[in-house]
Amino acid sequence: MTHTAQDTADLEAYRGQVRAWLAQAAVPEVPLDLEGRFAVLREWQKTLYEAGFVGISWTRAAGGQGLSPSHQLVFSEELARAGAPQPIGLIGVDVVGKSIETYGLDWQRQQLLPRLLSGADIWCQGFSEPESGSDLASLRTRAWIEGDEFVINGQKVWTSWAHKAQWCALLARTDAGAPKHRGISYILVDMSTPGVTARPLVQMTGDDEFCEVFLEDVRVPVRNLVGQLNEGWAIAQDTLSHERGSYTLRRRVEYEVAVEEAVQNLRGHVGATGTEPPDRVLEQLGRSYAAVRALEALTRRTIDRQLTGDIPSPYDSVDKLSLNEVEQLLYTSITDLLGPFRLAADRAPFGLDGPRWVKEHYYSRAASIYGGTSQIQKNIIGERLLGLPRG
């Protein structure tokens, strides 16, 4: 889809509005430690929501601004270039919230979505399981109906923010006799419900953002079902498409700003000291810059797909696979510039903030796992786009 001159003018006017607001906003400093970061970003989400900058492409009926995905991209670009952080509740805003908006009951949309957008409620996504990560349809968490309640038993893993979340969008098998892609239901679980236990997992970054979640005879009202009983797989695919597409759009902007910042730091250091980094590292950083630009071109096509309603789509996997590769290449390249000083908290080789880039590098290793592994994305691309045989 090609933007008209009027569309372009509208987007540039919106960009000016965003820049003006950010210029006078109290943009927070975000600490590296998880607890401090979570608290700051949750308050920041409230600030953004009250200013009308959360749920930009959501419908007004769902509490959003009723604008286009292009407006959301403009905001993400300006946010990153102003050095301002993203809100904390992106699993809700970008991922599960969109599915609730599309498939949810009236009470779910009216009562849950405003608190999701404002950050009053944080959401997590109960999909992956210890033996059903890559093969999501083989999940073993069970749910059955007793009276007007579901009774749920099972275990989830790699559940981001589960120990901080108020709600979980959970997949459970509600018909054990159905083929594995059927008989799955999409259920909203209040994380304070008796029988729900979230156990944090410490990552190589030192954070405990991911969790195991255990569900033991958890009773959830049947009215918390999203869509129809046993038809949750299609809703799960919708959720995953938002996770892969929307997350890629936001992260691409952050990568662009990161590589530009690294280049500026290098130029400043070279100008002050006359010492240049090795050609090998500069070449790798150049490749990172080119990769970020290629990802930018890809995300422009993603915006077009969103505008035309072409989601979910196998092309979501192209987005996710590209994001994996660019993120890891970029942060590995920048961390290589630190050399042996990468573990020295008080050093800034080549003018770079060592602790910040090392943490980004460690976190980037998860890119090929979260939101669907790289292997799964390649399978989807091979089978659904290239027509290759399964397996």
Beta bridge partners of residue 201, listed in sequence order: 210
| 2, pLDDT greater than 70 | no
Q: Would you say residue 198 lies in a domain?
A: yes
Nearest to 65 by CA among 79, 51, 52: 52
Q: Which of the two residues, 206 and 295, has the higher pLDDT score?
A: 295
* pLDDT tens readout for residues 98-114: 999 999 999 999 999 99
DSSP 312-366: S-THHHHHHHHHHHHHHHHHHHHHHHHGGGGG-TT--GGG--HHHHHHHHHHHGG
User: Is residue 391 domain-resident?
Assistant: no
Q: Could you report the per-residue pLDDT of 115-146, keeping only the tens digit for each?
A: 999 999 999 999 999 877 567 888 999 999 99
Q: DSSP 3-state assignment of 201?
A: strand
Type of residue numbered 175: D
List the catalytic residue out of 243, 256, 327, 360: 243
Whether residue 124 contacts residue 97, with contact meaning beta carbons closer than 8 Å, is answered with no
Query: Could you report the per-residue pLDDT of 54-85, keeping only the tens digit for each?
Result: 999 999 999 999 999 889 989 998 998 898 99
Whether residue 372 is found in the same domain as residue 318: yes
Tell me: do 369 and 262 sit in the same domain. yes
Domain that holds residue 222: 123-230
- What is the pTM assigned to this prediction? 0.84
Last residue of a domain, which of 190, 208, 230? 230
User: In this structure, are 225 and 241 located in the same domain?
Assistant: no
351 within a domain of the structure (yes/no): yes
Q: Which residues, 6 or more positions from 50, have their beta carbon under 8 angstroms from its beta carbon?
A: 118
State whether 248 and 331 are in the same domain: yes
Residue 168 has pLDDT above 70, yes or no: yes
Give CA separation, 370 vs 105, 258, 320, in Å.
Answer: 29, 21, 10
Residues present in the chain in total: 391
Question: Does one domain contain both 193 and 333?
Answer: no
For the question of residue 243 being annotated catalytic, the response is yes
Confidence at residue 282, expressed as pLDDT on a 0 to 100 scale: 78
Comparing C-alpha atoms, which of 238, 250, 241 is closest to residue 323? 250
Q: Is the same domain home to 224 and 326?
A: no
Burial of 371 (0-12, 13-18, 19+ CB in 10 A): buried
In a domain, 140, yes or no: yes
> 118, 142, 160: which is the final residue of a domain?
118
- Are residues 332 and 298 part of one domain? yes
Q: Is residue 158 part of a domain?
A: yes
pLDDT of residue 3: 59
Could you tell me which residues come within 8 angstroms of residue 72 by beta carbon, excluding any fewer than 6 positions away?
Answer: 56, 57, 249
CB 144 within 8 Å of CB 99: no
pLDDT digits (tens, 9 = 90+) for 315-334: 888 888 888 888 999 988 88
pLDDT band, very low/low/confident/very high, at 28 (cuts 50, 70, 90): very high
Q: What local confidence, expressed as pLDDT, does residue 285 receive?
A: 81
| CA distance linking residue 267 with residue 272, whole number of Å | 9
pLDDT band at 312 (very low <50, low <70, confident <90, very high): confident
The predicted structure's pLDDT at residue 343? 67
In a domain, 202, yes or no: yes
Phi-psi region of 63 (alpha: psi -120 to 50; beta: other; left: phi over 0): left
**φ, ψ for residue 199 (rounded to 5)?**
-120, 110
pLDDT value at residue 131: 77
CATH number of the domain that 177 lies in?
2.40.110.10
| Distance in angstroms (rounded) separating the CA atoms of residues 143 and 141 | 7
Please give the mean pLDDT across all residues of the chain.
88
Q: Which long-range contacts (CB under 8 A, 24 or more apart) does 32-41 make?
A: 32/355, 32/356, 32/359, 34/207, 34/208, 34/209, 38/88, 38/164, 40/85, 41/85, 41/86, 41/87, 41/88
| 366 shares a domain with 245 | yes
Domain-ending residue, one of 205, 230, 255: 230
Q: Are 362 and 368 in contact (CB under 8 A)?
A: no
Check whether 1 has a pLDDT greater than 60. Answer: no
What are the phi and psi torsion angles at 153 (to 5°)?
Answer: -135, 135
Q: What gap in Å lies between CA 153 and CA 224, rounded to an integer?
A: 16
In three-state secondary structure terms, 153 is strand
Parallel, antiparallel, or unpaired for β 167-173 and 184-190? Answer: antiparallel
355 and 246 in one domain? yes
69/160 same-domain check: no
Domain count, the chain: 3
Q: Which residues contact 337 (CB under 8 A, 6 or more apart)?
A: 262, 266, 277, 281, 285, 349, 350, 352
Domain assignment of residue 320, yes or no:
yes
Q: Which residues of 255-286 are buried (b: 16+ CB within 10 A; e: fewer)?
A: bbbbbebbbebbeebeeeeeeebeeebeebbe
User: Which residues, 6 or more positions from 340, have their beta carbon under 8 angstroms from its beta carbon?
Assistant: none
* Residue 128 sits in the same domain as residue 154: yes
Q: Which residues pair with 188 in a beta bridge?
A: 169
Report how far residue 66's alpha carbon sits from residue 61's, in angstroms, rounded to the nearest whole number.
8
**318: CATH:** 1.20.140.10
Check the CA dihedral 248-249-251-257 and report its sign.
Answer: positive
Strand partners, 150: 145, 220
Residue 390 belongs to a domain: no
- For residues 213 and 173, membership in a common domain is answered with yes
pLDDT in tens, 180-207: 889 999 999 999 999 999 999 988 878 8
